[in-house]
Amino acid sequence: MPSELRTLQPEPDLAFVRSATELKPVPFVPEVRLHMAEDAIALWETTERARGEVGLPPPFWAFAWAGGVAVSRHLLDHPELVAGRTVLDVAAGSGVVGVAAALCGARSVYAAEIDAYAVAAIGLNARANGVRVEAALVDLVDGDGAPADVVLAGDVFYEREMAARFLPFLERAAARGATVVVGDPGRAYLPRDRFTALADYRVPVVADLEDTAVKTTTVWRLG
């Protein structure tokens, strides 16, 4: 991975994640256990109080999102996609995808996030599953994900601006030969015509976050 990737998991962030969550199996992917929260809004408010700031991003790291759950399910059912390969889980959130890749026998797994609490959560979640995932507070999206052989992204097409950065990033990764796989539960900004569907899953989701109990979620391969 690029030399600028630096792991940063300060003890206060680890303590905050531990205190705000409970370690439990992920619905639909029970092979993976994560530190997860029950109440997104309450945790969001708690996070802003803890940081002494308002306008922070939601605590994405405290939940496994449908896209990540679907990619994780797909990997665990098809471990040959990542076994023995170098994997990047970009926009990793809780790290559910990276942990699943590591459980499937990936040679090494890197997780990139721009939220320090997510980096802390990924570290705790990797440890809880007995695997190694190198999590870093870094925005790699202007690059091409090198040298990862496989670039994985769960649920990154939910905002127009984010999608406008992630699509070219994923295309650069694919153009240099990486396998690029994303999971998406029908978000508005996924350009479906650029992808090939690998599988559909009916993923149970947190009703407070998604306004429904189940979301049909597709695992796509770029190109």
Ligand X SMILES: C[S@@+](CC[C@H](N)C(=O)[O-])C[C@H]1O[C@@H](n2cnc3c(N)ncnc32)[C@H](O)[C@@H]1O
Cα separation of the two ends of the chain = 24
* H-only helix segments in 31-131: 40-51, 66-77, 96-103, 116-128
Give the integer Cα–Cα distance in Å for 22 and 4: 32
Q: Which is nearer to ligand X, 5 or 162 (CB)?
A: 162
C-alpha closest to that of 185 among 98, 5, 40, 64: 64
Nearest-approach distance from CB 17 to ligand X, in angstroms: 13
Kindly report the number of other CB atoms within 10 A of residue 53's CB atom: 9
Q: Which is nearer to ligand X, 83 or 162 (CB)?
A: 162
Beta carbons of 154 and 183 less than 8 angstroms apart = yes
Nearest-approach distance from CB 93 to ligand X, in angstroms: 2
Q: Which is nearer to ligand X, 86 or 94 (CB)?
A: 94
Q: Which is nearer to ligand X, 91 or 133 (CB)?
A: 91
Residue nearest to ligand X (CB): 68
**HSE value, Cβ hemisphere, 13 Å, CA-based, for 40:** 15
Q: Which residues of this protein are in contact with ligand X, per CB under 6 A?
A: 57, 60-61, 64-65, 67-68, 90-94, 96-97, 112-115, 118, 139, 141, 154-156, 162
**Which residues, at least 6 apart from 15, have a Cβ–Cβ distance to it below 8 Å?**
none
Nearest-approach distance from CB 90 to ligand X, in angstroms: 6
Phi and psi, residue 149, nearest 5°: -75, -30
Nearest-approach distance from CB 28 to ligand X, in angstroms: 12
Q: Which is nearer to ligand X, 47 or 94 (CB)?
A: 94
Token pair listed for 165: 């950065």
Nearest-approach distance from CB 71 to ligand X, in angstroms: 7
Nearest-approach distance from CB 177 to ligand X, in angstroms: 22
Place of tokens 């070219």: 168
Q: Which is nearer to ligand X, 156 or 174 (CB)?
A: 156
Q: If you count DSSP H runs as helices and E runs as strands, how many of each does the chain have, helices first?
A: 7, 9
